[in-house]
């Protein structure tokens, strides 16, 4: 239990964290990963480069400072982050390393303003925060479907869009595939050799079907940008992993799931809103809804760059054909206007239960638009392809 004096010091640092939080966490990652290179086997270097991970950590630290009197307020966020930590196999022994370099980063960025009292207070506070995470993650490790990383064999590889493959993988003998919760993801542990890469590369991929008869299905989009080469892991999976090959997975994870109490009723429409390969977890949700109550009103909204990049076209059509009350919208941004507030106002009833998945910019745009339209926070559920804490508004000042 932190003393009143310690909590007062932490709360007094909130304005500093609002101003310099991302700078502190950027320095933190640079220092820690340069001196503990073994952690490069865990941390996503792409998220470091793009700034997503430093922003997510800065948001988490700021939120903890603002709620230092009652950290239980943060439990929903802790559980969500804990799911990722468990999937990546982050263990209690990693937390002291993080704490050490977080304090070093605070000292470096703040300079003389980082008094011994502030550093000591944050050292105590970090211990308290770490204990919350470790406790939540302990339960997750105790209930995971299988421990650590297990080998799976690729039994199917199907192109479901011009830039997306769906993989189906089966475990080696002795491991039973668990029941899949629609919306969950698996984590793939690979070791690409491109650009003389020396480290394991871990990536989360949404599970595309609740049917595990033939194995676990997940989708991988080839990550490319106008000025950058293909993503390290997605290129490896697209170009080098084929039927018969073995890859390692950790157990399914995630808290992006349907509101079970609404599945069997028909008063609240289900809205599934996807961009690009973000359709993947929503596809498993649609499958689950159709299997359990095809009469529920469903609004399916799928945005993609073009007809060619529209993923799972055939499977989506087959599932929607089984729905008794469905409205469908397919937006191709090479010929159609992007989804905006006017579109959402026209097509998404205010009493809907909304599930969104896509890139971080898409997610933030959809969430902001729905809030302007006065949709309640508890009716908006989302899973971004990137650190979710970057979408949480706690007052962190963004640098231009």
When pLDDT is averaged across residues 161-185 and rounded to a whole number, the result is 94
CA distances from 111 to 27, 31, 315 (A): 13, 16, 57
Collapsing DSSP states into helix, strand and coil, what is residue 137? helix
Confidence class of residue 377 from pLDDT cuts 50, 70 and 90?
Answer: confident
- Catalytic, out of 29, 101, 126, 137: 137
Active-site residue flag, 93 = no
| Per-residue model confidence (pLDDT) at position 59 | 87
- The pLDDT value recorded for residue 400 is 46
pTM of the entire structure?
0.91
Q: Which of 199, 238, 204, 206 is nearest to 222 (CA)?
A: 238
Phi/psi of residue 353, nearest 5 degrees? -105, 115
Q: For residue range 30-43, what is the model confidence (pLDDT) as tens digits?
A: 999 999 999 999 98
Task: Give Dmax over CA atoms of the chain in angstroms.
Answer: 66
Residue 393 has pLDDT above 80, yes or no: no
Backbone angles phi, psi at 130, to 5 degrees: -60, -40
Higher pLDDT, 395 or 213: 213
Which ranges of the chain would DSSP assign to H, the alpha helix? 4-12, 14-35, 45-50, 52-66, 75-88, 95-110, 116-143, 232-240, 260-263, 279-292, 313-320, 341-347, 360-372
- Candidates 353, 181, 377; CA nearest to 262 is 353
Q: Taking 90 as the threshold, does the pLDDT of residue 44 lie above it?
A: no
Q: Which among 96, 100, 105 is positioned nearest to 130, based on CA atoms?
A: 96
* 287-315 pLDDT, tens digit each: 999 999 999 999 999 999 999 999 999 99
Q: Does residue 205 have an active-site annotation?
A: no
* Position 226 pLDDT exceeds 60: no
Q: What pLDDT was estimated at residue 375?
A: 85
- Sorting pLDDT into bands at 50, 70 and 90, what band is 360? confident
Per-residue pLDDT at 132 exceeds 70: yes
pLDDT of 395 over the 70 cut? no
Q: What is the pLDDT of residue 24?
A: 92
pLDDT at 394 over 60: no
Q: How far apart are CA 284 and CA 210, in angstroms?
A: 6
Query: What does the pLDDT read at residue 55?
Result: 85
Q: What is the pLDDT of residues 348-359, one digit of tens each?
A: 998 999 999 998
Q: Report the pLDDT averaged over residues 104-121.
A: 94
- Percent of the chain whose pLDDT exceeds 70: 93
Catalytic residue among 29, 95, 165, 205: 95
């Amino acid at each position: 239990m932190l003393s009143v004096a310690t909590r007062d010091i932490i709360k007094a640092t909130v304005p500093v964290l609002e101003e310099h939080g991302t700078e502190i966490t950027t320095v933190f990652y640079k220092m820690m990963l340069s001196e503990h290179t073994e952690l490069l086997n865990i941390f996503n270097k792409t998220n470091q480069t793009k700034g997503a991970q430093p922003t997510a950590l800065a948001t988490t630290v700021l939120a903890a400072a603002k709620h230092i009197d009652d950290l239980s307020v943060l439990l929903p966020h802790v559980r969500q982050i804990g799911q990722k930590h468990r999937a990546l196999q982050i263990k209690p022994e990693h937390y002291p390393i993080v704490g050490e370099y977080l304090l070093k980063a605070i000292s470096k960025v703040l300079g003389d303003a980082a008094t011994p009292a502030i550093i000591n207070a944050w050292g105590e506070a970090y211990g308290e925060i770490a204990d919350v995470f470790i406790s939540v993650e302990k339960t997750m490790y105790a209930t995971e479907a299988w421990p650590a990383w297990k080998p799976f064999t690729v039994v199917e590889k199907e192109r479901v869009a011009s830039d997306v493959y769906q993989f189906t993988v089966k475990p080696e003998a002795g491991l039973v595939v668990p029941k899949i919760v629609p919306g969950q993801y698996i984590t793939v542990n690979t070791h690409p050799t491109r650009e003389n890469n020396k480290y394991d590369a871990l990536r989360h991929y949404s599970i595309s079907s609740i049917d595990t008869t033939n194995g676990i299905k997940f989708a991988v989009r080839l990550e490319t940008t106008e000025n950058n080469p293909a993503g390290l892991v997605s290129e490896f999976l697209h170009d080098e992993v084929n039927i018969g090959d073995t890859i390692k997975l950790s157990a399914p994870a995630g808290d992006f799931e349907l509101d079970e109490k609404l599945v069997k009723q028909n008063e609240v429409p289900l809205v599934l809103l996807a961009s690009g390969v973000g359709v993947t977890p929503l596809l498993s949700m649609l499958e689950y809804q159709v299997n359990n109550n095809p009469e529920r009103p469903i609004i399916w909204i799928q945005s993609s760059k073009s007809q060619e990049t529209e993923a799972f076209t055939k499977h989506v059509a087959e599932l929607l054909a089984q729905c008794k009350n469905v409205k469908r919208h397919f937006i191709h941004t090479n010929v159609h206007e992007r989804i905006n507030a006017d579109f959402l106002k026209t097509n998404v009833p205010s009493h809907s239960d909304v599930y969104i998945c896509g890139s971080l910019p898409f997610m933030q745009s959809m969430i902001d638009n729905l809030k302007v339209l006065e949709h309640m926070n508890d009716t908006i559920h989302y899973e971004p392809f990137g650190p979710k804490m970057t979408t949480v508004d706690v007052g962190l000042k963004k640098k231009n």
